[in-house]
Amino acid sequence: MIRFSSTFLFCIIIICLTSCATYYIPLDSFKEQFAGLEPSKEVTTLGPGGDKVKYMTYPITFIKCVDKSGSAYNLKVSPSLEVRFTYGENNKRTIFYFDLIRINDTLLTGGQSRFIPSIKKTISLNSITKIEIQDGHKKFSYVN
């Protein structure tokens, strides 16, 4: 018979309660929230190793999304927000950092790594079938 200590069970419960909640953004809402915006806000991100990186991002403080039951939710933008796009005929999935995406009329380009900025991907906005967003709770923070 396996015995679990109360500390172990407590840790498991805490992990379950603090796991990353996933929210959804309807494509029309996503396009609407970026309409007319340009990456005009300069931010500095502090990484887990103490590294600082400056870049331009969209002047968005909260992203409007919905939870799994369809209730509206305003998610605060942070450098650890990850957006997962499902797109194309084969339902491919790609994850970008929210503040590293760029949108034009028909294309979305995003950064997939904070450590290797050249890792980027571009997908057609019209091929997107689902947008999921969550705080990955990675140790990145804005310093400005």
What is the per-residue pLDDT across 64-105, written as a single tens digit (0 to 9) for each? 999 999 999 999 999 999 999 999 999 999 999 999 999 998
| HSE-CB for 123 with a 13 A CA cutoff | 23
pTM: 0.82
Residue 11 included in any domain: no
Residue identified by tokens 């450098």 is 79
**Residue-level pLDDT at 12:** 41
Strand (E) or helix (H) holding 124: strand 120-124
Domain boundaries, position 71 = 20-142
* Residue 79 counted as domain residue: yes
Which are the contacts of 99, defined by CB distance < 8 A and separation ≥ 6? 43, 55, 57, 58, 77, 79, 81
- Report angle CA 133, 109, 22 to the nearest 5 degrees: 5
pLDDT digits (tens, 9 = 90+) for 5-16: 554 434 344 443
In a domain, 5, yes or no: no
What is residue 10's predicted lDDT score, i.e. its pLDDT?
A: 42
Nearest residue to 58 (alpha-carbon basis) of 109, 9, 99: 99
Q: What is the pLDDT of residue 53?
A: 93
Average pLDDT of 51-68?
A: 95
The runs of H, that is alpha helices, within the chain are 6-17, 27-34
pLDDT at 115: 87
d(C-alpha 39, C-alpha 111), whole Å: 14
Q: Is residue 52 part of a domain?
A: yes
Close Cβ partners of 51 (under 8 Å, ≥ 6 residues apart)? none
Residue 117 pLDDT: 85
| Start-end of H helices in 27-139 | 27-34
Does residue 12 lie within any of the structural domains?
no
Domain-located, residue 7: no
Query: What amino acid occupies position 55?
Result: Y
Determine contact, residues 102/109, Cβ cutoff 8 Å: yes
What total of structural domains would you count in the chain? Answer: 1
Q: Give domain status of residue 90, yes or no.
A: yes
The verdict on residue 14 lying in a domain is no
